[in-house]
Structure 1
Amino acid sequence: MSPVAAGLVHMELNRGDGSIGTFVGVQAGLAMQSIAMLGSAEQKQRWLPGMATVATLGAFALTEPTHGSDSVALETTATRDGDTWVINGEKKWIGNGTVADVVVLWARDTADGQIKGFLVEKGTPGYLAERIDGKGSLRSVWQAHLTLTDLRVPEPNRLPGARSFKDTARVLAGTRNAVAWGALGHAVAAYEIALAYCRQREQFGRTLVTFQIVQSRLVKMLAEVCSMQLICRQLGRLQNEGALTDTIAAIAKMNNTSKARQVIAEARDLLGGNGILLDYHVIRHMADIEAIHTYEGTETIQTLIVGRDITGVSAFA
């Protein structure tokens, strides 16, 4: 697919349900893209066809219990032992981690201190995945807490193109596009629900759309949605031309998830008490956008990425 076509798919999936959109983001974005960008020819041939048809499920294990935004400082270790790697550590918030056939796992090489990528196959001894319960957001996606104890991964399962965290960051930069498109989908859904509701809901003997303040709020919501659409369209054009940068991807992710939160909050308020009912769906989008706003780089981290680029000064610490 073209970048815009793929983006529209992400938009429509999230317009329906954030859990489905996130599942595809993990499967087709993080997991498959890691193998496609950094894997060997043999690894690509073995895993990608099955993953493309969802006959094979994938996961992406980077975040740790104490390292989210500062994932560059991850503590999971990988030690070379002959033709295998011994991996120890923990991971958290790993989508599909309990069901995946292959997990793209990131760990620090104890020899050179660099971050390396490994393909961990289902059933490998030393891999324990526990589902994280109690979530109020993305409830249909199973995130896992992973405990890795003397996990042995053969050398052929190491991603040859993953030599440092810079390579990990390349994967993350690519998937931020999908997050920007996904946020747009949530905002579109909320706007359309609010508009339809205000057209039929009557108060004081009139439908809500006949009130000036309601029209004003709907117009401002639409303006935000349109600006998000334009940003996504520009993302697709730049990606197609090979001109997309980390900074632009960061701006898009930061802007669209933030704007989506605002649009959804307006929709929730316009629906009044019904806005908290699952029957009207807005509250579900409100809960889901909170996770999307956070994962793959918080607003703060994206802001610092952009700030570093435009000022030449790193303010991360």
Structure 2
Amino acid sequence: MFDYLSLDDELTDDERAVRDEARELVDSLRPFGELFLEGEFPDVFDELGDRGLLAPHLRGGSPRAYGVAMRELEAGDSGLRSAVSVQGALVAYPVARYGTDAQRDEYLDDLLDGETVGCFALTEPDVGSAPHEMGATAHREGDGYVLNGTKRWVTNSPIADVALVWARDDGGDGDVRGFLVPTDTDGVHVEPIDGLLSLRISESAEVTLDDVHVPDDAVLDVRGMRGPLSCLNQARYGIAWGAVGAARDAFEHALDYAKGREQWGRAVAGFQLQQEKFADCATRITTAELIARRLADLKESDELEPHHVSMGKRHSAEVARNVTRTAREIMGGNGVLADHPPMRHMLNAETVYTYEGTHDVHSLIMGAEITGEPAFEG
């Protein structure tokens, strides 16, 4: 594994064990190119749970263990890491933090073991970067609520057993609330999204809620946007680590290729122009990981703030976008083949660059903290 500053030497035994479990799983699933072309997500949730890779930080592991797991899974494919991020950061985490005792008893262990698959329904067809403008509603009725609305880009939803749906309570103060909704509930309709050119192994769909009745005991104990945004902060932390893995895998493959590919009587890796590209990519990958590791330290000491995570997610996604494109370029025409990972990682990076807060939105989050002038407010 490429590790220019030997950063993994600092891992504890437990963190190294998590890393190795993730690598073994990824190696068992290669080649990912076939899954990507087929648009097929591997049946691995049980194994992810058995290996302790579904939110290891909720099982007593360190923030760095969680990050290293995301890095190694995304070195396989961003779609794999995305599925795990949703399960751990966007479903298991809110159940652990905001769930009632009964909700934790019902869902948490099964989510962490991979026996129950969850999805996170926040984004809507016309509402992305401003989730507080959501149109989905929760209407109080009897001893529960009736949910209506449409959610889009709901990762894991075609294979999920339970959806964490965020909707606005249309009575009283109009707060956003979170609802744990079994996907086989009457009125829940899941329509897979076809035609994906990125994150093709990810199971994503549009979820329509048509007079879906849920009892009071389905509601999480949190009100307002603090609930979903705190979950997104967990996922973005994982992306800051994960995107490093995609960049590293593309880099390693291009390096091996350039060492073995000869032109004009010498290896491509021996040309100065290519060496500059490798030097730039190595520096970008290393700086992205250094930021991710600092975020882990801040998370460990409970000092991690949303604007810190925005820097990590923003930078790592940009690094993945640039490094994967450069790796594809180094490989020339062969770089566009599904047999080689750089092009697949490059396509996936376009989604990672956009989701969980676009590059521009994270720039504004950082800008507001730096200048004291929030650009979101007009």
| Shorter-normalised TM range | over 0.9
Alpha-carbon distance in 1 for matches of 2:254, 2:289: 18
Alpha-carbon distance in 2 for matches of 1:287, 1:41: 41
Alpha-carbon distance in 2 for matches of 1:141, 1:211: 38
Cα drift, residue 167 of structure 1: 2.1
Cα drift, residue 103 of structure 1: 0.5
Give TM-score, length-normalised by structure 2.
0.82
Match among 169, 183, 189 for residue 128 of structure 1: 189
SS of the residue 2:126 aligns to: coil
Alpha-carbon distance in 1 for matches of 2:157, 2:320: 28
Residues 65-106 of structure 1, C-alpha deviations (whole Å, 9 max, x = no match): 000111111010001112110111100000111221111000
Mapped pair 1:290 → 2:350: yes
Correspondence for 1:119: 180
Alpha-carbon distance in 2 for matches of 1:59, 1:98: 9
Correspondence for 2:24: none
Alpha-carbon distance in 1 for matches of 2:340, 2:161: 36
Alpha-carbon distance in 2 for matches of 1:98, 1:189: 28
Q: Which 4+ runs in 1 deviate beyond 6 A?
A: none
Correspondence for 2:341: 281
Mapped pair 1:196 → 2:259: no
SS of the residue 2:335 aligns to: helix
Q: Kindly provide the amino acid, as one letter, of the partner of residue 119 in structure 1.
A: L
Alpha-carbon distance in 1 for matches of 2:342, 2:159: 29
Q: Kindly provide the amino acid, as one letter, of the partner of residue 314 in structure 2.
A: M
SS of the residue 2:146 aligns to: strand
Mapped pair 1:81 → 2:81: no
Mapped pair 1:17 → 2:96: no
SS of the residue 1:119 aligns to: strand
Q: Kindly provide the amino acid, as one letter, of the partner of residue 158 in structure 1.
A: V
Q: Kindly provide the amino acid, as one letter, of the partner of residue 212 in structure 1.
A: Q
Match among 268, 288, 294 for residue 234 of structure 1: 294
Match among 183, 208, 217 for residue 268 of structure 2: 208
Alpha-carbon distance in 2 for matches of 1:98, 1:17: 19
Q: Kindly provide the amino acid, as one letter, of the partner of residue 213 in structure 2.
A: R
Residues 87-142 of structure 1, C-alpha deviations (whole Å, 9 max, x = no match): 11100000111221111000001012211000001311111011111101111111
Match among 135, 155, 173 for residue 216 of structure 2: 155
Correspondence for 2:244: 184
Q: Kindly provide the amino acid, as one letter, of the partner of residue 226 in structure 1.
A: T
Alpha-carbon distance in 2 for matches of 1:233, 1:68: 29
Correspondence for 1:143: 204
SS of the residue 2:157 aligns to: coil
Match among 272, 277, 281 for residue 217 of structure 1: 277
Cα drift, residue 189 of structure 1: 0.5
Please list every run of 5 or more consecutive structure 2 residues that lacks an aligned counterpart in the other structure: 1-60
Correspondence for 1:270: 330
Mapped pair 1:33 → 2:93: yes
Cα drift, residue 20 of structure 1: 1.0
Identity across aligned pairs (percent)? Answer: 39
Q: Kindly provide the amino acid, as one letter, of the partner of residue 319 in structure 2.
A: K
Cα drift, residue 28 of structure 1: 1.1
RMSD between superposed Cα atoms in Å: 0.9
SS of the residue 1:179 aligns to: helix
SS of the residue 2:127 aligns to: coil
Residues 118, 160 of structure 2: 8 Å contact kept: yes
* Count of residue correspondences: 316
Alpha-carbon distance in 1 for matches of 2:80, 2:130: 27
Alpha-carbon distance in 2 for matches of 1:104, 1:39: 11
Residues 151-181 of structure 1, C-alpha deviations (whole Å, 9 max, x = no match): 1110000001x20012221111121110111
Correspondence for 2:231: 171
Correspondence for 2:56: none
SS of the residue 2:167 aligns to: strand
Matches within 5 A, 1:251-262: 251-262=311-322
